Amino acid sequence: MTTTEFRQHRRADRDLACQLACAKAIVRAFRLKQSLVAASAEAPTPPLPAAPMRPFVNAADLAQRMEWAARLTGDASQMVKSRLDRVSQIGLTRSIAVAPRASCLDALDRNYPNFAEVTALVRRHVALAGRTSDAALKVPNLLLAGAPGVGKTAYAAELSHVLRLRFVSVDVPMLSADFSMSGLDPSYANAKPGLVFDALDDACIAPIVLLDELDKLPRTGEAVLGSLYALLEPHTAARFKDAALGLAMDASHITWIATCNDVDGVEPALRSRFELLTVPRRRPSRWRP
């Protein structure tokens, strides 16, 4: 073997040794990654904090209204008594929303990319809530404006699912009068609580209530949503009274989400009580061969 051939063989041996070393390093890295994934899968997920509790009604107020209900006569008396009894049974103190893990919102980014601005806003409030002592979450009241078909209603429903909150949908054009929202006085034979009380008739008093098509009020106009003005202000919502029961209750934990196609169709005083976000059309995905 000549000197040149010997050197070529040595160079080939060094190249082979280098390749083997690289292959071993790749195998070690792959095995390390597998072990880390397995360890993370086996590690228990830290539990979410317990849902914070807040007073819903005052015990003295409830007792006073139950005494009043006992003196009622007429067709609506039994309805009023049963509803007040239910308030007592569910509890005077009830849970509100708690901040979920931030990763829970990833599905919104994937499924509703045109709502990126809305999801980013929710993320900020989730992050802020996560830094408080009880992780109590309050998303601001939102007005989602956009063309028909961009997914406003579906997004609101999915958001409530992600946040693990009850979802109540109100078709605004179908509302007949303000008592649809705030209840009808028991002096009427067909008296009953309104949509707000029904939304709060649960162990959690922080539902998401969707006001769909807020720009398409029926002919009765603002009177249909007269009670909504007070409900959108936290200090007045905290003492909301349903006309059928006359019981002050805390409705300030409701998250209101309204949708509209035309922002100009929403009365300015009502519009100012929401955070307005415009939702663009979803861009079609490009086909790749």
Mean predicted confidence (pLDDT) in 159-183: 92
CB 165 within 8 A of CB 137: no
Does the pLDDT value for residue 20 go beyond 70?
no
Do residues 196 and 245 touch, judged by C-beta distance below 8 A? no
Greater model confidence, 51 or 146: 146
Sequence letter at residue 228: L
Q: What are the Cα distances from residue 139, in Å, to 102, 125, 158, 229?
A: 14, 6, 15, 18
User: How would residue 178 be classed by pLDDT, with cut points 50, 70 and 90?
Assistant: confident
- Rounded mean pLDDT of 3-29? 57
* Residues paired with residue 248 on neighbouring β-strands, in sequence order: 241
Q: How confident is the model at residue 287 (pLDDT cuts 50, 70, 90)?
A: very low
Question: How confident is the model at residue 256, as a pLDDT?
Answer: 98
Can you tell me which residue has the tokens 């997920």?
45
Residue range 197-224, pLDDT digits in tens: 999 999 999 999 999 999 998 765 557 7
- Alpha-carbon dihedral angle through residues 230, 231, 237, 242, given to the nearest 10 degrees: 100
pLDDT, tens digit (0-9, with 9 covering 90-100), for 85-138: 999 999 999 999 999 999 999 999 999 999 999 999 999 999 999 999 999 999
Mean pLDDT value across residues 22-27 = 58
Number of Cα atoms under 13 Å in the Cβ half of residue 228: 30
What is the share, in percent, of the chain residues with pLDDT greater than 90?
Answer: 70
In terms of pLDDT, which residue wins out, 186 or 217? 186
Q: Which two tokens stand for residue 245?
A: 């029961």
With contact defined as beta carbons under 8 Å apart, do 229 and 273 qualify?
yes
Model confidence at 288, pLDDT cuts 50, 70, 90, reads very low
Residue 40 has pLDDT above 50, yes or no: no
Tokens of 130: 């996560």
DSSP state of 224: G
Confidence of residue 57 (pLDDT cuts 50, 70, 90): very high
Any idea what the Cα angle at residue 248 is, between residues 58 and 160, rounded to 5°?
95
Which residue did the predictor score with more confidence, 226 or 197? 197
Position with higher pLDDT, 35 vs 163: 163
